[in-house]
Each structure stands twice: as structure tokens, then as C-alpha cells.
Amino acid sequence: MLLKDYKNNFTQELSLFYDEQEIESFFFIVMEAFHEMKRVDLALNPNFELDGMQLLQWETVLSQLKEHKPIQYILGETEFYGLPFFVNENTLIPRPETEELVDWIIKENSKDKELKILDIGTGSGCIAISLAKDLPNAKVYAMDVSEKALEIAQKNAKRNKVTVIFLHQSILETEDLLATFDIIVSNPPYVRNLEKEEIKKNVLDYEPHLALFVEDTDALLFYRKISELAVKNLSENGQLFFEINQYLGKEMTDLLGNLKFQNIELRKDIYGNHRMLKGNFQSK
Ligand code: GLN
């Protein structure tokens, strides 16, 4: 079958489940993954034919998309901050908002500086690895409670040819980080049960709840613990960066303010939601 004809079939089959734009974007993502062809290459090669084996692969993707499985999990990979990352159901799919957080950290810090960085709750390793790539003189550590997530993160560090020191540890059970860091960053679980209705089916059914949800009654559990550790384990003028729940900007600013962090800055993401926060640590 010609790929251009299969595209019509693919679009029609998915039209009950997704809008046209989304289907088109799935099609091109799969085309690139399977055939290393970009959007224009389809127009340039109208006679590109799928053999029986390739057709079967496309059909497997199609049936999983019908079950709302995220395309990133179907293919087992995605892109973050211009780098390739393996993902599976033990890691969140990296979000564009998190790219903005990484970008903020990179812009605030010089490439020449010998920084010591810790990423808490690293998941796929996307934050730690992209920082290691763009801040080549930094020594990067990354912690996660999930051994299965760390397996993926380790593969990602290798794939992107960077060194990250991984720690299998629960931050909630950590009393001291036993080292001094210049930057501590985290995108911990922050979605409250009361916000579950806002979460799409593909996220709710497939992404790891361990990485997403917190109790309604204690939504800042991870932030409190991490900020308190940061007071003990950040260097003078060290920086604390968080991705945060968009509805808790004020609470987060207060939390850092009460712990005497300086120059606290709350930023919005591309969607206009309060999503990132930074504070500097000064002992006096
Ligand atoms: N931003 C993610 C979402 O919208 C949540 C990430 C997190 O809880 N750290 O699903």
C-alpha cells in the first residue's frame, strides 16, 4: 500500500477519537520514527510503499491510539529540549512547560561555572540530562524513588552522552542530602485529587500516578520537604527551582518566603499558567 493512501485510512480510523490536527501530528511523528521521513518527504516521495511488515507496525500503532495510549509510550520515545529521550509507563512524558524550566536554569547560569546540581524526582531524567548537556561544567546528580524510572533515566544519559550520578532514594525519607549544591531543581508530584477531572484520559490511564498525584490535604508535601532540605544543603546564593501546580503560586511563594529565600520569582508558562518558581538561598 502507498503511504499516502494509508494516511487517508489512518485519518479516517482515528477520526472518532481525535481531531484532525492531532491525527495529522500523530501520522507525521510515526512516519519519522518508522521511516525517518519528515513531513515534506511524503510529498517528495508520493510512491513510497509500505511492505506487509511495515503495514503491521502501523496497524499496531493505530490500535493503541484508539485506546488513547500516548504516542510517546507507543513509540517508547520522545523529544525534550532538542534531545531524544526513552520513555515508558514508569516515567512521565516530559512536558513543554518543563522545557521552559530547564531553559530558565540554563539562562541564569554560565556554561563555564563548575556547578553542583541536584534534580529531585528525575523520572526519565529529562531535566538532569538536558542541564548536563547545556551546562558542561556542572556535576549533575539526580534522585528518584522509582527504580524503574531510574533504569530509563540511565539509558537516557547514555543515549545523550552525558554523565549524571543517579541516586535511588525517597526524598520524603531523606534527612540530609549530605552534600552542598549550587542548584536544586524539582518537578515533584503536584496534581491534587480535586484536579483529577481536568486530567485527560490518556494521562490518567497511562502515566504513573506516583509521579503525578498528591493528597488534597497536603499538596505541598514534596515542596516543603525539598525546600527545608535546600536550606541545609544549598551553597551561599544557591538556587532552588521548582515546577509547580498552577493554582498554588501564592502558597509556594509564601513557603519560600517563610524559609527566608531571596529574590523569589514566579513565572508563567506558554499557556499563561503560573508554573515555575525560583528562590535564592542566603544564610544572612
Ligand atoms: N504537568 C503534569 C500534568 O499536567 C504534572 C506533573 C507533576 O505532577 N509534576 O499532568
Read off the pLDDT of residues 266-278 as tens digits, 9 standing for 90 and up: 999 999 999 999 9
Q: Is the CB of 187 under 6 A from ligand 1?
A: yes
Q: Which CATH number fits domain 88-281: 3.30.43.10, 3.20.20.140, 3.40.50.150, 3.40.1360.10?
A: 3.40.50.150
Determine the pLDDT at residue 109.
97
Domain boundaries, the chain: 3-67, 88-281
Q: How far is the CA of 117 from the centre of ligand 1 (A)?
A: 22
pLDDT of 280 above 90: yes
Question: How does pLDDT run across 215-253, given as a tens digit for each residue?
Answer: 999 999 999 999 999 999 999 999 999 999 999 999 999
d(CA 25, CA 96): 16
d(CA 17, CA 20): 10
DSSP secondary structure letter of residue 197: G
Any idea of the CA torsion for 224, 229, 240, 156, to the nearest 10 degrees? Answer: -100
pLDDT class for 159, splitting at 50, 70, 90? Answer: very high
Determine the pLDDT at residue 284.
73
pLDDT class for 36, splitting at 50, 70, 90? Answer: very high
Mean pLDDT of the chain: 96
Q: Residue 128: count other Cβ atoms within 10 Å of its Cβ.
A: 30
Residue 90 gets the label, from left (phi > 0), alpha (psi -120 to 50) or beta, of alpha
Nine-digit cell at 263? 529574590
Can you tell me which atom of ligand 1 is nearest the CA of 243? 9
Can you tell me which atom of ligand 1 is nearest the CA of 214? 8
Which one of 80, 87, 95 would you pick to mutate in the ligand 1 pocket, going by the greatest count of ligand atoms within 8 A of its CB?
95
Can you tell me which atom of ligand 1 is nearest the CA of 189? 8
Identify the CA nearest to 190 among candidates 174, 207, 212, 171: 212
Question: How does pLDDT run across 47-69, given as a tens digit for each residue?
Answer: 999 999 999 999 999 999 999 99
Q: Is the CB of 191 under 6 A from ligand 1?
A: yes
Question: How does pLDDT run across 199-224, given as a tens digit for each residue?
Answer: 988 999 999 999 999 999 999 999 99
Q: Is the CB of 190 under 6 A from ligand 1?
A: yes
Identify the CA nearest to 223 among candidates 185, 173, 168, 183: 185
Q: Kindly report the pTM of this predicted structure.
A: 0.94
Q: Is the CB of 26 under 6 A from ligand 1?
A: no
Determine the pLDDT at residue 283.
84
Q: How far is the CA of 93 from the centre of ligand 1 (A)?
A: 9
The H or E element containing residue 243 is: strand 234-243
Identify the CA nearest to 258 among candidates 283, 227, 284: 227
pLDDT of 168 above 80: yes
Q: How far is the CA of 274 from the centre of ligand 1 (A)?
A: 13
